[in-house]
Homo-oligomer: A and B are copies of this chain.
């Protein structure tokens, strides 16, 4: 067994708890451990009322014991602190695969039976509780949306601490206890998350208490942080800006006393920091306390199995005894393991927790399993939104004047922030100004608790904008903030949102599950504003050009995901307002930041965005039945499509062109597949059933085929989009590289419409020549031909 290293920095107070308190807390811990082992192993005989037989044991053993006793230990001690101080605490479980522990504690607190009335506080309830765990039709093996008191899954490791900070922002009375496994601590997102303390304001935010649980092992290996010398670990944590309080041991009585003292120390320190900040205002960034807990992996479990050490090794990670159904020796070991918790001391003969233990945890909303912050929808207050129409840009005629869409949005967001000083945050990886949302800084700042210099601008401890050069932190903070009942927007360079693909996946899965749980109240949607997009990466080139996040999003359950491509400033305002009001979705908005033409006066924009797509009659030459549909989604494709339509109406005026603009991408799906989907009737009325459709799309072309696959016209749809050709070049050269330019779209129309006049063939050749000329121009001058870049609807 790998005994925890003994270290010198323990805040040791061996008499923090009386003998009786010690006995009780240890009993409570045993109860949680007993229920945890029961969940992993037992189908029946939950109180061991009879000898353990093979049929009492699950045929498939699916769960993770290793981390669980540590989670239970921390839980029991937090309960004591909450009771002592009437503290408001939630519990974030980094090692989320220790699901049985959190379920056990929710059950011991009574919450589980309140939320799931089928599972009562008696022997039958215990039987069901055990049986359902990791069982078909039951609950997952991990802490999950199904687990009362959780805002965090922990299946994909790395996000516990960032979620914890997100939960603490603007929750001044909340303490977020965050258990970080030493495996998780090796991940990049977790390693970066420690620095979140530079963005936590003790005057207006709550506290995060990180508890680094070093049990020494991951699935199959020791962990880095447990095996580096203690002084190195201490330096690291102090370097991150914390004061570590270490508790270490494998003797329960001693560890109980140490841990109680450590929690008292930590909570005292938190109170002192907050009091100082709230009385005198913020001065310096405080050094927050944290706990390092070194206990054996799989503590209190089997010490040796089949001659090999298990407790305190990686072998305790999942199920220490793997053959309890078929191997009588394993089963006997399981039985004595279960008996080692002395269940009869913990539960009465009916299976009810004994009163002295029942009296131990906090009650009501103070129970961590019932804390409303962990069911954030309960606390959700509507945003106070200004009328977005007040921020509209004037559009007297379409495609004639230029605006920077995100800059216009910035003014709206500024006032959203002003009106909601306690429940809305704007996240961005050092890109809020770059994405031209700078108007927000007229009324707020970026959160910054570190040193400032006279030249700094817009930094303050109470800023409402959060910037750090980590998409992981932006995403994770926002997730934690939303899950605890608040609102926000994450603005990000389009290409780099891929950095958080996997975090998005996990959040979408969480939303999918929580929608199916009636007791989980809806939370605000996760809103992305992707700007600095693929078509305008003039400064940065290929590494910054990737519109594929939309494809990832489209793979998730349709009831969760929405994708919007507003073509101009006013439509961006309308779409954003809609997204900020929505619940339980992931909304992806893609919008450019560069000066671009405006098409829609505000009223039209509202109508257009409400419909999600529609014919732009002013840009169409067809009154009824068109010869060709030119469809577009995204600001740059819309521009190129309009410019192409402009050429066609001048050069081939007899060609009946219908121009359809798509804002809400999910409208393209059938109504049977997405709540926003159009009926076939509606769809056909726009796109026809048999006319060529030239579709200019912002991203990878295939998504449009996928979305329109079931439509009659599908076979006639020809999509242009990004085909992975990019570099540092001019805007028009970029669209040409990908055949999305106006000239190519005209060629596409000519190639696909039958029976055109001979003039069309000549026009086609002129388009080829125009492309060559444009290419030559940019290569000579280093910028686009103004005849192209200055195009407006009525200029030619």
- CB distance A782 to B136 under 8 Å? yes
Residues of B contacting A775 in the complex (Cβ-Cβ under 8 angstroms): 136
Query: Is A142 interfacial (CB 8 A cutoff)?
Result: yes
Question: What distance in Å separates the Cβ of A129 from its nearest Cβ neighbour in chain B?
Answer: 15
- Chain B residues lying within 8 Å of A448, measured Cβ to Cβ, are 221-222
Interface of A is mostly: loop
* Complex interface: stretch among A405-413, A481-489, A519-527, A543-551: A543-551
**CB of A233 within 8 A of chain B?**
yes
Q: How far is the CA of A60 from the CA of B730 in the complex (A)?
A: 9
The answer to the question of A268 belonging to the interface, with a C-beta cut-off of 8 Å to chain B, is no
B220 touches A433 (CB 8 A): yes
Interface membership of A309, Cβ < 8 A: yes
Contact: B155 with A544, CB < 8 Å? yes
Tell which of B467, B499, B552 touches A548, judged by Cβ atoms closer than 8 Å.
Answer: B552
The answer to the question of A706 belonging to the interface, with a C-beta cut-off of 8 Å to chain B, is: yes
> Could you say which residues of chain B place their CB within 8 Å of the CB of A141?
539-541, 728
Query: Is the pair A513, B495 in contact by a Cβ cutoff of 8 Å?
Result: no
Q: Quick check: B62 and A509 within 8 Å, CB to CB?
A: no
Given contacts A469-B218, A551-B552, contact A498 B499 (CB under 8 A): no
Interface string of A785-796 (1 = CB under 8 A from B): 000000000000
Interface window among A10-18, A191-199, A378-386, A762-770: A191-199
Whether the Cβ atoms of A155 and B220 lie closer than 8 Å is no
Render A503-520 as a binary contact track against B, CB cut-off 8 A, 1 for contact: 001100100110000000
**Given A551-B555, A552-B552, A727-B140 in contact, is the A156-B496 Cβ separation under 8 Å?**
yes
Of B155, B240, B495, B709, the contact of A541 (CB 8 Å cutoff)? B155
> Within the complex, what minimum Cβ distance (angstroms) separates A514 from chain B?
12
A97 CB, nearest partner CB in chain B, Å:
7
Verify A157–B544 contact, CB threshold 8 A.
no
Question: In angstroms, how far is the closest chain B Cβ from the Cβ of A68?
Answer: 14
Cα–Cα, bound, A428→B562 (Å): 34
Chain B residues near A62: list those with CB within 8 A: 538-539, 728
Interface residues as binary, A436-460 with B (CB distance below 8 Å gives 1, 0 otherwise)? 0000000000101011110110010
How would residues 219 to 233 of chain A score, 1 for a CB under 8 Å from any chain B CB and 0 otherwise? 111111001110011
Q: Whole-angstrom distance from the CB of A647 to the nearest CB of chain B?
A: 23
State the Cβ distance, A426 to closest chain B Cβ, in Å: 14
Complex CA gap A709/B705 in Å reads 9
Task: Knowing A155-B542, A220-B434, A541-B140 are in contact, say whether A239-B241 is a contact too (CB < 8 A).
Answer: no
Cα A467 to Cα B222 with chains together (Å): 10
Partner of A238, one of B191, B232, B498: B232
Q: Which of B499, B506, B705 sits near A156, CB closer than 8 Å?
A: B499
Contacts of A189 in B (CB 8 A): 188
Task: Determine how many copies of this chain the complex contains.
Answer: 2
Set B186, B192, B509, B539: member contacting A543, Cβ < 8 A: B509
Residue of B nearest to A508 (CB): B724
- Asked if A221 and B467 sit within 8 Å, CB to CB, the answer is yes
Closest to A60 in B: B783
Contact of A418 with B by CB under 8 A: no
Give the complex CA separation of A470 and B702 in angstroms: 32
A232 engages B239 (CB within 8 Å): yes
**Assembled-state Cα–Cα distance A186/B228 (Å):** 23
Is residue A667 contacting chain B, with contact meaning CB distance below 8 A?
A: no
A543 → B minimal CB distance (Å) = 3
With an 8 A cutoff between CB atoms, is A45 at the interface? no
Tell me which residues from 38 to 92 in chain A have a Cβ below 8 Å from any Cβ of chain B.
43, 58-60, 62-64
Of chain B, the residue at the smallest CB distance from A431 is B219
The answer for the CA separation of A302 and B136 in the assembled complex, in Å, is 68
The answer to whether B136 and A729 have CB atoms under 8 Å apart is yes
**Residue from A450, A506, A775 whose CB has the most chain B CB atoms within 10 Å:** A450
- CB pair A541–B136 under 8 Å, yes or no, is no
Q: Which residues of B contact A173 (CB under 8 A)?
A: none
- Chain B CB within 10 Å — which of A195, A229, A543, A782 has the most? A543
- Complex: chain B residue closest to A468, CB-CB: B186
Nearest-Cβ distance from residue A54 to partner chain B, whole angstroms? 13
Interface residues of A in 225-256 (CB under 8 A from B): 227-229, 232-241
Across the interface, which residues of B come within 8 angstroms of A685, CB to CB? none
Give the docked Cα–Cα distance between A542 and B63 (Å).
14
Cross-interface CB contact of A502 among B467, B501, B513, B557, cutoff 8 Å: B501
With contacts A2-B453, A705-B709, A728-B141 taken as known, whether A153 is within 8 angstroms of B543 at the C-beta atoms is yes
A513 to B156, CA, bound (A): 33
A542 to B312, CA, bound (A): 29
A237 to B189, CA, bound (A): 18
Q: 8 Å CB contacts to B: which residues of A685-705?
A: 700, 702, 705
Residues of B within 8 A of A233 (CB): 239
Closest Cβ–Cβ distance, residue A160 to chain B (whole Å): 13
Task: Give the residue of B236, B512, B546 whose beta carbon is less than 8 angstroms from that of A239.
Answer: B236
- Residues of B with C-beta under 8 A to A238: 232, 235-236, 239
Q: Contact between B541 and A142 (Cβ–Cβ < 8 Å)?
A: yes
Task: Tell me whether A733 is interfacial, beta carbon within 8 Å.
Answer: yes
Q: Is there a chain B Cβ closer than 8 Å to A556's Cβ?
A: yes
* Cα of A131 to Cα of B232 in the assembled complex, Å: 50
- Given contacts A136-B782, A141-B539, A220-B430, could you give 6 more A-B pairs where the C-beta distance is less than 8 Å? A60-B730, A155-B540, A156-B543, A158-B499, A188-B192, A513-B542
6 contacts between A and B (CB under 8 A): A141-B728, A186-B468, A188-B188, A188-B470, A221-B467, A499-B501
Residue positions of A touching B, CB distance < 8 A: 1-2, 43, 58-60, 62-64, 96-97, 131, 134-142, 144, 153, 155-158, 183-184, 186-195, 198, 218-224, 227-229, 232-241, 309, 312-313, 318, 430-434, 446, 448, 450-453, 455-456, 459, 467-470, 472-473, 495-496, 498-499, 501-502, 505-506, 509, 512-513, 538-544, 546, 548, 551-552, 555-557, 700, 702, 705-706, 709, 724, 727-730, 733, 775, 778-779, 781-783
